[in-house]
Amino acid sequence: MKKIFIAGQWKLGGGKAIKSHYPADHSENADISTASSDDIHEAIVAADKAWRNPAWRSALPSEKAAILFKAADLLEQKKTFLAKLQTRDNGKPITETTGLVNSAIATTRYIASSLETLDNELTNQRIQSVLTFTTHEPLGVVAAITPWNSPIASEIQKIVPALAGGNAVILKPAEATSLIALELAAIFEEAGLPAGLFSVLTGKGSVVGEAIVKHPLVQKISFTGSTSTGRHLAHVAAEKLISTSLELGGKSPTIVFEDANIDIAVNGVIYGIFSSSGQACIAGSRLFIHQNIYDQFLDALIKKTKNIIVGDPEDSNTQMGPLISEDHLSTVEHYVNMARDEGGNIVAGGQRLTGDAYDKGAYYAPTIITGLKNDAQVCQEEIFGPVLVVMPFSDEETLVAEANNSIYGLAAGIWTEDYRKAFDMAKRLEAGTIWINTYKKFSIATPFSGHKESGVGKEKGRLGILDYMQTKSIFLNLDEAPNPWCETK
Ligand code: ADP
């Protein structure tokens, strides 16, 4: 039974144990204990003490950065192990999980470096006799709640800026991917992070997650996951009047113009939807192709999609692994059946893969659907699987209206050789991230945010640490005379 990390101690949690399974064959990875309500309270009280403790609060930026740099070095030393563990947890191909560990290392080093350049501000001196300046202060205890699809990257993306901002962090990973979160706890412990500043509380979202976010000492919720859970957490935060950062769902459009470089666009569109088996909030799941190249482009797309290597996630040639679980596969099947009912044509995939190793895991074929209108349910709801809907377009006004006709606004892709048109389109699309002639590219230096129901707040960016801080404005009087208001005439 796996112990969990509560306030600097490895302990068996008092909650009901959960299991981690390897999605490729459903074999068991580990039994994991989960946090009880007493464990949750203990971790949060210790976290509250830890961030207030001068050992962390008054540590020099370079002292905090040294711990983060050490953590980055440990992530690097354990890269192969962590990538394999992540693959065992969520079935993502090893090449992708290696990329996620690289991203975690780079994020940690970037944030550690930015700590030294985080300035307070001497604000405009409007009152002659008073010196005014604004400092950045920690928020306190941050609850980081994460999903199962890219945990190592999404967890580090929250933990590191929050710690750098002087906060303590309580991480509640998704049930399916607790193992990687516990390894992160071991890494920060070995890096010398003072006890209490980081705890990992495993367990069910509706029980453990809910108790964490509702705890009175939690001062910020940093969440990545579904829009419905995000909306619920926004309610919790509103009740407590605390801040949130919510990275939610998407149904992102990708647009291929007539003048696009077809080879580049085909590869980009395929990568955008089918990498991670489509289990990505940013998946480019709605494709609009200009009518004049529709047949040619669709043919090329189908041909290449049928060649995608779906299989053993531990094999470095594999492009698509299994879906996370049988339940999730049923959801994907449900949507594809719905597409059939709505009048869609399945031109690639459209069924689970069977035979040999496929029978052991939840493998679903990369699927392309045509013949639906943008207002079909399958074009509006997030499937979170390897399913692409394709629609033709002819005039740009209708295209923009349809691309923006979604409750989501996470990302969009534009494929054209005309950069003036691409830039104009980028300004008109309602999404937090726009990729032009590329897709799914990220940088820790560039903010990531969702428009509309895809999220609230942002993550990353050069000053990303400030998203985990609050300002304090200080007025220092330089006038020696007593306040005249109190002088009686
Ligand atoms: P997904 O469909 O990606 O699993 P969820 O939004 O259900 O998305 O889950 C994302 C994370 O939120 C997981 O760690 C999950 O356990 C957690 N979670 C789910 N419900 C709640 C809740 N009521 N309170 C706090 N965390 C929750």
Query: What are the residues facing 28 on neighbouring strands?
Result: 21
Known active-site residue 210: no
251: Cβ contacts below 8 Å, ≥ 6 apart: 285, 286, 379, 380, 381, 382, 406, 407, 408
Atom of ligand 1 nearest to the CA of 224: 10
Q: Whose CA is nearest to atom 19 of ligand 1?
A: 205
- Alpha helices (H) in 175-257, listed in sequence order: 178-190, 210-214, 227-240
Q: Is the pTM of the predicted complex or chain greater than 0.85?
A: yes
* All structural domains of the chain: 4-248+454-474 (3.40.605.10), 253-436 (3.40.309.10)
Residue from 32, 44, 145 whose mutation best tests the ligand 1 pocket (most atoms within 8 A of CB) = 145
- Here the tokens at position 341 are 């009912």
Spatial separation of the C-alpha atoms in residues 427 and 434, rounded to whole Å:
9
Q: Which of 206, 210, 229, 242 to mutate to test the pocket of ligand 1 (most atoms within 8 A of CB)?
A: 229
The SS3 call for residue 247 is: strand
pLDDT in tens, 88-98: 999 999 999 99
CA 158 / ligand 1 centre spacing (Å): 16
Integer Cα distance of 397 and 486 in angstroms:
66
Report DSSP letters for 96-162, one per residue.
HHHHHHHHHHHHHHHHHHHHTT---EE----STTEEEEEEEEE-SEEEEE--SSSHHHHHHHHHHHH
Note the pLDDT of residue 125: 86
Low-confidence ranges of the chain (pLDDT < 50): none
CA-closest residue to ligand 1 atom 15? 205
Q: Whose Cα sits closest to atom 25 in ligand 1?
A: 209
Place of tokens 């923009």: 400
Q: Which residue in the list 247, 382, 453, 459 is annotated as catalytic?
A: 247
Report the nearest-CA residue for atom 17 of ligand 1.
205
For residue 128, what pLDDT is reported?
86
Angle between helices 61-77 and 178-190 (to 10 degrees): 130
247 is catalytic: yes
> How far apart, in whole angstroms, are the C-alpha atoms of residue 201 and residue 97?
23
Distance CA 444, CA 111 (A): 9
CA-to-CA separations, 193 to 9, 181, 306, 451, in angstroms, rounded: 13, 16, 48, 35
Q: 278 is written with which tokens?
A: 């489509």
Q: Supply the pLDDT for residue 489.
A: 76
Q: Ligand 1 pocket by C-beta < 6 Å: which residues?
A: 145-147, 172-175, 205-206, 209-210, 213, 225-226, 229, 232
Q: Identify the DSSP state of 364.
A: B
- Which pLDDT score, from 0 to 100, does residue 63 have? 97
Whole-number pLDDT of residue 123: 87
Integer Cα distance of 180 and 266 in angstroms: 34
Alpha-carbon distance of 135 to 482, in angstroms, equals 27
- The CA 176 to ligand 1 mean position distance, Å, reads 11
Of these residues, 42, 96, 210, 281, which one is catalytic? 281
